[in-house]
Amino acid sequence: MHTRNVFILLVLLTGTFLPLQGSAYETAISQEIDSVEVIHNGRNVTIMRNQNTANTVHPTYAKTSRKCPPFCIQPAKLAEGVETIGELEMLDYLKRSSGGDHTILVIDSRTPDWVKNGTIPGSINIPWTELKQGAGADPFTIADILEKKFGAQSLEGLWDFSNAKTLVLFCNGMWCGQSPSNIKTLLRFGYPAHKLKWYRGGMQNWHNLGLTVVK
């Protein structure tokens, strides 16, 4: 019987969660997931938990207090129709995107100074400043990103998002406004809310859970 089916049967019979039999890792991602394979910049990367149970969070994400503004706590729900997701959902989008589903794009919205310290494997970097007028972007730059990277079409001055990608955006975490800025900008352009997903935990939670990062 398939491992997943065995696991589900044991849960139903015992009412408890049991470790994966034959798990490759002592510290798995979840009861059913050891690791996730993704492609980052053309190379294969395995996303897994740090196997050192004495590991502690990276110092960059150990700070509890940052000046607000700009580092203010973000709401759990950014806008109507925009789904806030967690790590397992993020991993699913990463796996699907790396597996050939070109309708999904996972975006690190942070500026390069943050990204150089590490990002989520399988994501691409589109700084929030490239999508926000007044923060360095002009209408032509924004239009270029919408068409060439997101799959939107410009029709006589209007935007057609019928074939636009599902965008999964993240930044530094619940105190970071960079991906929320991107999402709000995209909504103003008419991007469908159901095609926008927000990983609110961002790099903060990713590091807290000991998940793989790449530089």
Q: Quick count: other Cβ atoms within 10 Å of Cβ 155?
A: 8
Each residue's pLDDT tens digit, 89-103:
999 999 999 999 999
Q: Strands (DSSP E) along the chain, which ranges?
A: 36-40, 43-47, 83-85, 104-108, 124-125, 153-155, 158-160, 166-170, 196-199
Each residue's pLDDT tens digit, 49-75:
999 999 999 898 999 999 999 999 999
Structural domains in the chain plus CATH codes: 1-34 (no CATH), 35-208 (3.40.250.10)
Each residue's pLDDT tens digit, 112-137:
999 999 999 999 999 999 998 777 78
